[in-house]
C-alpha cells in the first residue's frame, strides 16, 4: 500500500486485526506527516481504529516504533506509549516479509516482546509503582 504525502510516496503494508488496522512502514515519518497519512487511511480503510506504525531496525531482533492511533468513535488521535496491537502487527509484518519469528519492540513506554507462531504472543514486564489498599 502506498500513500502520497506532499512529494513523498510512503510504502507500507496494512495489517488488519479485529477492531484495528495498522499501516506498517519503515519510512521515517516526520511529526507533521502523521495526520496527513492518517487522513488518507481514514478515507481508504474501513476499521473502528487505525494505527500508523513507523519502525526502524536497531539490530536483527530489536525494533523501535512510534505508534500513532486514531479511534473512530471518539475521533481521537494520539501517540501511544505502549501499543500492544501495533507491536503484534509489526511482528506479523516482520514474519511475513523477513521471516522473523521473535522481536523486541521498543517504544516510549518500554519494550514489548512479540512471538509469531501457531499462536501469536506479546509480553512485557510490568512494574507496580504504587502501594495501598483498594476497596472494591
pLDDT one-digit tens code per residue, 52-80 = 999 999 999 999 999 999 999 999 999 99
Q: How confident is the model at residue 129 (pLDDT cuts 50, 70, 90)?
A: confident
Q: What's the chain's average pLDDT?
A: 93
Helix (H) or strand (E) holding 38: helix 34-44
d(C-alpha 96, C-alpha 108), whole Å: 25
3-state DSSP assignment of residue 136: coil
d(C-alpha 46, C-alpha 117), whole Å: 27
What CATH number does the domain located at 2-123 have? 3.10.310.10
Q: How confident is the model at residue 31 (pLDDT cuts 50, 70, 90)?
A: very high
Half-sphere exposure in the Cβ direction for 80 (13 Å, CA): 26
Domain ranges of the chain: 2-123
- In this prediction the pTM is 0.88
Q: Which residue, chain included where needed, has cell 500508523?
A: 52
CB 61 within 8 A of CB 88: no
Amino acid at each position: 500500500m502506498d500513500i502520497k504525502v506532499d512529494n513523498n510516496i510512503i510504502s507500507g503494508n496494512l495489517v488488519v486485526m479485529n477492531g484495528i488496522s495498522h499501516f506498517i512502514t519503515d519510512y521515517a515519518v516526520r511529526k507533521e506527516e502523521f495526520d496527513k497519512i492518517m487522513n488518507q487511511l481514514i478515507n481508504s480503510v474501513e476499521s473502528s481504529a487505525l494505527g500508523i506504525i513507523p519502525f526502524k531496525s536497531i539490530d536483527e531482533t530489536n525494533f523501535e516504533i512510534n505508534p500513532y492511533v486514531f479511534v473512530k468513535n471518539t475521533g481521537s488521535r494520539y501517540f501511544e506509549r505502549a501499543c500492544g496491537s501495533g507491536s503484534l502487527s509489526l511482528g506479523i509484518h516482520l514474519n511475513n516479509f523477513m521471516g522473523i519469528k521473535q522481536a523486541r519492540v521498543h517504544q516510549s513506554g518500554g519494550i514489548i516482546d512479540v512471538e509469531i507462531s501457531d499462536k501469536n504472543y506479546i509480553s512485557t514486564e510490568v512494574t507496580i509503582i504504587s502501594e495501598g489498599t483498594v476497596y472494591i
